[in-house]
Amino acid sequence: MHSDIARAVRPHSMDGSSPSAPVWDPHQYLRHAGHRTRPFLDLLTRISELPTRPARIADLGCGPGNVTALLADRWPEAHITGFDLSPEMLRLADAEHAGPTPGGGHLDFRHGDIAEWMPEETYDLIVSNAALQWVPSHPGSFASWINGLRPGGTFAFQIPGNFTAPSHRLLAELCDTPRWRERLGGHGARYIHILEPAEYLARFTELGCAVDVWETTYYQMLQGPDPVLDWVKGTALRPVLTVLGDDRDSADRFLAEYREALRLAYPGGPRGTVFPFRRIFAIARKEA
């Protein structure tokens, strides 16, 4: 089933294939850690108690691990494993957060592709923050993930719902101009496929779960010059920056064109630049 959003944003890959994996820059990503962490904290407040102690928890697409570490604050005795595809992200997560936790639990990080990930043991909680949008097939894995939960266990995720916002629309339009389409080889922007909240709710209800789904638009006030460009450099621009690689001239030209468009769409004000950001949340609890 395709959502309106999925239909509105066409696949960017010219040959219909998925884009190659982008190279991530954890330090650029963490420049907006406050705004990026808040939705995860909002998700956490809605997750009820887990069936066993110490709990076993998986974090899919854990990135630099700072959000994974918040799970240890909530479940101090838990054994928590973050999975990610990016060596850059995993290196930082491992260096900064791996090891025993103050509450007697343990945090570790492993290489893993969400598109193929199956629970290799029984989990109390499987969680994913701002990562499933990179995995078009993710709804197809829900049944296996729920199956891998202990009775009373929870699958919870937060996913951006802003793919038709000017930030993403302008990027897609620029990638599709004749001057960039060929240079980016069809892999400049990404194939996007998220479902609408009602569709996620229906999927989990069909799987027999107790479901809590909602959406929130955060009116984020960003600071500094060209802050929306700075934001997307950590996320949506990764595929473009990956393709342009060491070609600094092309990267600079692309960024200059995109910057101009973003300045018109998100004008700065005396107290900063408002960057509205819609996010979708889902919590599915398996029957106890």
Ligand X SMILES: C[S@@+](CC[C@H](N)C(=O)[O-])C[C@H]1O[C@@H](n2cnc3c(N)ncnc32)[C@H](O)[C@@H]1O
Point out which residues bind ligand X (CB under 6 A).
24, 36, 40, 61-63, 67, 84-86, 89, 112-115, 129-131, 134-135, 235
Q: CB 115 → ligand X: shortest distance, Å?
A: 5
Q: What ranges make up the beta strands (E) of the chain?
A: 56-60, 79-84, 99-100, 106-111, 123-129, 149-160, 210-222, 273-285
Closer of 34 and 270 to ligand X (Cβ): 34
Q: CB 171 → ligand X: shortest distance, Å?
A: 15
Rounded to whole angstroms, how far apart are CA atoms 78 and 56? Answer: 6
Q: CB 198 → ligand X: shortest distance, Å?
A: 24
Q: 256 Cβ partners below 8 Å, 6+ apart?
A: none
The token pair at 174 is 């620029």
Q: In what order do the strands lie in the sheet with 149-160?
A: 99-100, 106-111, 79-84, 56-60, 123-129, 149-160, 273-285, 210-222
Closer of 3 and 37 to ligand X (Cβ): 37
The token pair at 114 is 């969400």
Closer of 235 and 273 to ligand X (Cβ): 235
Which three-class secondary structure state does DSSP give residue 223?
coil
Output the CA torsion sign for 133, 138, 139, 143: negative
Closest CB to ligand X belongs to which residue? 63
Closer of 113 and 252 to ligand X (Cβ): 113
Q: CB 141 → ligand X: shortest distance, Å?
A: 11
Q: CB 41 → ligand X: shortest distance, Å?
A: 11
Closer of 51 and 65 to ligand X (Cβ): 65
